[in-house]
Homo-oligomer: A and B are copies of this chain.
Amino acid sequence: MSDSFLSSKLIENISQKISTQKDKPGLYAVATPIGNIFDISFRAIHILRKSKIIFAEDTRNSRKLLDFYEIDRPLVACHEYNETLPQVVNQIHQNEYYSLISDAGTPCISDPGYRLINWCIEHNVAKG
């Protein structure tokens, strides 16, 4: 058994502080690792866990990441090359959390997803 990477005191500290943060509901564009599975932030995990639905470019790839970090939320495909947007936005409601992730990196930097973001901005449900 290896030494614990994070002490129990630190985890307690993070758990307490992250759960009392003033997040706002909406759609979050969440950055995921590009090559190293540990290139993901505490806040990314926190927001993904709070999400009612996680929209992903490739649900098979993303499921591996979510499984590793024990994030048991529904994954829905949201890519450019088919007409999923109408079905996707039908599932979005105000006052809930949603995440958009791409295969790797930050959604919309060089990936699909901007149509969903645009829709959410127009409908006042897009967040940071």
> Which residues on A are within 8 Å of B, measured CB to CB?
1-7, 9-19, 21, 36-43, 45-46, 68-70
Enumerate chain B residues within 8 angstroms of A6, measured Cβ to Cβ.
6, 11, 14-15, 45
Most chain B beta-carbon neighbours within 10 Å: one of A17, A38, A45, A46: A38
Residue from the list B11, B36, B41, B68 in contact with A5, Cβ < 8 A: B11
Contact B10 A4 (CB under 8 A): no
Q: How many copies does the complex hold?
A: 2
Contact B38 A7 (CB under 8 A): no
Residue from the list B4, B19, B21, B68 in contact with A12, Cβ < 8 A: B4
Enumerate chain B residues within 8 angstroms of A18, measured Cβ to Cβ.
5, 38
Enumerate chain B residues within 8 angstroms of A46, measured Cβ to Cβ.
5, 38
Contact A39 B38 (CB under 8 A): no
Enumerate chain B residues within 8 angstroms of A15, measured Cβ to Cβ.
2-6
Q: In whole angstroms, what is the CA distance A83 to B21 when docked?
A: 40
Contact B40 A36 (CB under 8 A): no
Residue from the list B1, B7, B38 in contact with A41, Cβ < 8 A: B38
By Cβ-Cβ distance, the 9 closest A-B pairs, closest first, are A38-B43, A5-B15, A38-B42, A2-B15, A2-B16, A39-B41, A41-B41, A39-B43, A2-B19
